Chain A
Amino acid sequence: MEDNSNNSRRKFLDKGLKLGLVAALGGIGLSKLTSKLNAKSTEASGETVELMTTEGTIVQVDSSAVVEIEHAEDHDTKYNVREGMPNRKFVMVVDLAKCKNALSCQSACNKAHYITGDNAWLKVYKMQESKDTAPYWMPTTCQHCDQPACVTVCPVDATFKRRDGLVLIDNDRCIGCRFCMAACPYSARIFNWSEPDQGEITLNLDMLNHTPSPEHGGAPSVKGTVDKCDFCPHMVKEGELPHCVTACPNGVFYFGDKYEDTVTNGDETLRLGKLLEDKAGYRLMEGLGTEPSVYYLPPTNRSNTFEEGLENYTEFQSVEKPGES
């Protein structure tokens, strides 16, 4: 009985192997054949064209060999949007000693991400730990945690963590359960409760042939899905700094790459490690274990007074409505 079954198995394997081999050969043959059929006529047409090579010499080529190819816009920087830019690890440093609540960061962010709702992605909080300690202004973005609670709870992988440190949202996949918002301890997430009133923006984006991407939040925002600060990978990709960094008149925000150990606020470029060591950098709610990518420098030796910032402070508003200002 056992012999028999062994035997039949051997037979089966043998036959299977042969069949597989034949199928593989057939497949190769078929693909060769189809590639031949699909190829444009390779016969010389007789006409020739002159072309310049990259070295600068003129060559003559049969016109049939000249085929139009699609122009690759970014073939050096091609990467999977969900994987992230290879060998990068983006970080931000926020120097609280410099923040005067100028709010240029917020309006630049609102503008760049077409934020028209009632809740900005970038907030500047009026902070005071206790009655006897000094008040200060604290800008917050998404903290792009390395242990992101929002990503853990997302049921559909709509919000995801990339190797380059960014936490992004795929607005085409989000089901609008808002679990990520409940999970985020930094209140960084914003919901599109209704059809976003982005007006002409969406129309313009259409005309520019813009394809919505998790790398550019808010362009456009999608009803019933979550938005948040994305660290502006669409700018970083072009070698530019995020909008809040360039907009800040006081150089509060430093953006950079942890692997390169450098951060810059546009004016000065510093070593990340040294900066954090010299100024005793820390992260928000370190005790939760979320491992944020945003570092804060304590508000010591301030060049400004806290009161200066009160002028701009609006407790109930973070997005300017059209017609105001």
Chain B
Amino acid sequence: MKNYDTLLKDLAPRQFNRKGVIWTSVLVIIIIIGAIAYIDQVRQGQIVTNMRDYALWGIYISNFVFFVATSFVGAVVVSILRLTKNEWRTPLVRIAEIITLASITMAGITIMLDMARPDRLLNLFIYARLQSPITWDVIIIPTFLVISFLLLYFPLLPDLAILKDYFKKTKPGLSKMYGKLSLNWTGSEKQKALQAKSIKIIAILLIPVGLVLQTVDAWLFSTTYRIGWDSTNMGGYFISGAMVAGVGALITVVYVIRRVYKLENYITELHFDKLGKLLALACLIYLYFNMNEYLIPSYTPSKGESIHLNTLFTGSYAGLFWLVTVVGLIIPAIAMFFKKGRKPNPMFIFGLIVVIGSWWKRFIIITPTLLHPFLPIEGVPESWRHYFPSLHEWLITVATLAMALLIITLLVRYFPVIPIQRTAEEKKLSKNDLKEVSS
């Protein structure tokens, strides 16, 4: 990458190779299977799930919370690192923006999968009541979606103009699309000033909106009387958990893209080192909120609370609870304290563990609470006292995860994952170079 040409060649989108085609096809097949399962769910009703009157929410909701959580990565990596002037973020921001957009899109879709009457979706607008936390979600999710889209799009503009020229001869069709999308970007001072200002506003806006999104998500639960949900700790607990899930997802995706696209020169070990420290910080903050949520209540538990906590500490959910807490949180945090732990390969493993742990963590937050209502569970079939997702629920949920990965894959396929123009500027490749190529 001594000169601009190599840079462009390295960073411009590339066609799928064989592995890429297989990967994408597998994702599409999983999504189609999930879609069939969903159609069947609409036809038969949610009787096809294992949710019942007590376990009235299941993995659709925990999966939704997971998607909302991972979407927080944009606010953390892009906005906060930007405000704190952490220059190392450059090759990571676009990947973070892509994860954010994919996650929030899927969060919006996933919450609709849980609606038993999707045909009445418009009622949410026609009869909207502002006092319901669901209405807050209806407002904040599209807002966050638009902001995170713009945060991905605006910084892309110069790169799109570059790609338009780059593909002019080889792929005229693609070049035309980039040209249209680049909104006549010429790189004039006026445009640059406007773009810089817009990005700044959006990046700053993303922090409060992101915090509100996570908090509203927490309030879905803490606005009820349920033991385990009715907690003033929930807002911070969800925000810190979102940071863990988001950074974990970022590490995993960055590792894969770096490997597949051979971007070792751009995403270096330094970046993994920094991301590792960020993950350690996120895990520690989350542990602090976990202590507030589980450990401190166990000193003076009410009767209901002690039943709830016992189920988690030693009861039927103990295995899962300790797995997500120790393996999914404490061990990765400790590993990140060591320089060896912050090398790309171990980081990928820990990132993956953190993401899987984050997913099951949401299951642990939602399901046990519902199975301990205030009045005893009586007069219903024995099976209603437990909950484990049905085949339909798994197929649909896995399909949503596949859809998130497909969105990420397609965005990575067609747009440069590392900002070309910014990297060029930072590497001080001269403007002449730039002009030479574009002319």
Contacts and interface: CB of A to CB of B under 8 A. Distances in A.
Nearest to A126: B378
Nearest to A122: B379
B167 interface: no
A36 B199 CA distance: 66
Interface string A30-49: 00000000000000000000
- Residue picked from A125, A177, A179, A181, most chain B C-beta under 10 Å: A177
Nearest to B135: A155
B375 interface: yes
B224 interface: yes
B177 interface: no
Query: Chain B's interface: helix, strand, loop or mixed, by majority?
Result: loop
A285 interface: yes
Q: Which bracket fits the contact residues of A?
A: 35 or more
A179 B379 contact: no
Nearest to A149: B225
Contacts of B115: 175-177
Contacts of B299: none
Contacts of B52: 118, 191, 193
Contact of B128 (A156, A177, A185, A318): A156
B56 A182 contact: yes
A66 to B, nearest CB: 44
A118 B381 contact: yes
Contacts of B224: 149, 153, 182-183
Contact of A193 (B51, B135, B220): B51
Contacts of A173: 120, 123, 127
Given A153-B132, A193-B52, A182 B226 contact: yes
Given A191-B56, A193-B51, A155 B370 contact: no
B382 interface: yes
Nearest to B133: A153
Contacts of B226: 182, 185
B123 A183 contact: no
B117 interface: yes
Interface in A70-101: none
Given A123-B378, A186-B375, A193-B45, A177 B131 contact: no
Interface residues of B, number: 46
B132 A189 contact: no
Given A126-B378, A152-B132, A316-B379, A176 B117 contact: yes
A157 B129 contact: yes
Nearest to A178: B56
A174 B117 contact: yes
Contacts of A157: 127, 129
Interface in B101-149: 114-117, 120-121, 123-124, 126-129, 131-135, 138
B114 A177 contact: yes
Given A140-B375, A175-B123, A194 B134 contact: no
Given A156-B126, A173-B123, 18 more contacts: A124-B379, A152-B131, A153-B133, A155-B127, A156-B129, A175-B116, A176-B46, A179-B132, A179-B220, A181-B53, A182-B226, A185-B374, A186-B375, A189-B53, A225-B116, A315-B379, A318-B378, A318-B379
12 contacts: A149-B225, A153-B223, A155-B128, A156-B123, A175-B116, A175-B120, A176-B116, A177-B114, A179-B133, A182-B226, A224-B45, A315-B378
Interface of B: 44-47, 49, 51-54, 56-57, 114-117, 120-121, 123-124, 126-129, 131-135, 138, 220, 223-226, 370, 373-382, 384
